[in-house]
């Protein structure tokens, strides 16, 4: 995916992430957020990885490979966006 623009957006919740995307899509031909069949909202899965919680890295035992400390939610949500053309609003939201 080297020939596309990649943005990682971070927000305090999934809803906040959706709000960022909704704000960024204003006036654009293709929306970043779409309505799903149940009346909810979902990201455009053809350009955006489904939002997920940001976690700390897990700790594993070097000898046995067993999990010592599981990952813990940091409190933020992430989504990654890949676009063919640069997007100033997403760049700003991503802090690029």
Partner 1 sequence: MSYILRSAGFAPGGSPSWPLSRPPSWRGFSPAADASVAMWWQPGDVLALDFAGGRYMREEETASLAAVLSTSRTSPATWLTDAGVHSIFGPNVPAITDRGLYAGGQATNYVPNNSYAGAVVGGSFPAGWTVSVIPGLPWSVAGLGTGVDGLPYIDVRISGTNTTGTTQFPQVNFTSGSTSPVSGNMIASARFEVLSATLAGRIAELNSDATALNIPNTDPAVYDVKLVRAFTVGEGMTYRLVSQVNVGVSINNLYRISRLQLETGSFASPPIVTAGAPATRLADSLTIPDFAAKAAAFGFGGGFAGEATVDLSRLSETAYRLLFDFGTDAPNRAYLGIASNNTVELSVKAASAGPVLNTAVLGSTGQYTLEWQVLSGNSFIKVNGNVAASSSATFTIPSLTTGYIGHSRSGGAHLNDPLRELHLRGAKA
Distance CA 84, CA 86 (A): 7
| Other Cβ atoms within 10 Å of 37 Cβ, number | 6
Site residues for partner 1, 28-87, by CB under 8 A, read 30, 34-39, 42, 44-50, 52, 55, 57-58, 60, 65-67, 70-72, 80, 82-84
For residues 3 and 26, which CB has a smaller minimum distance to partner 1 in the complex?
3
CA of 32: how far to CAs of 43, 64, 69, 73, 93, in Å?
6, 44, 36, 25, 14
Q: Rounded to the nearest whole angstrom, what is the least distance from the CB of residue 36 to partner 1 in the complex? A: 4
Residues forming the site for partner 1 (CB under 8 A)? 1, 3-4, 30, 34-39, 42, 44-50, 52, 55, 57-58, 60, 65-67, 70-72, 80, 82-84
């Amino acid at each position: 995916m080297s020939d596309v623009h990649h943005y990682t957006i971070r927000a305090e919740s999934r809803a906040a992430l959706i709000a960022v995307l909704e704000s960024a899509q204003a006036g654009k031909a293709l929306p970043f957020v779409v309505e799903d069949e149940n009346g909810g909202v979902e990201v455009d899965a053809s350009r955006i990885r489904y939002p997920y919680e940001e976690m700390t890295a897990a700790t594993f035992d070097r000898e046995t490979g067993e999990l010592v400390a599981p990952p813990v939610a940091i409190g933020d949500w992430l989504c990654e966006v890949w676009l063919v053309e640069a997007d100033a609003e997403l760049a700003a939201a991503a802090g690029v």
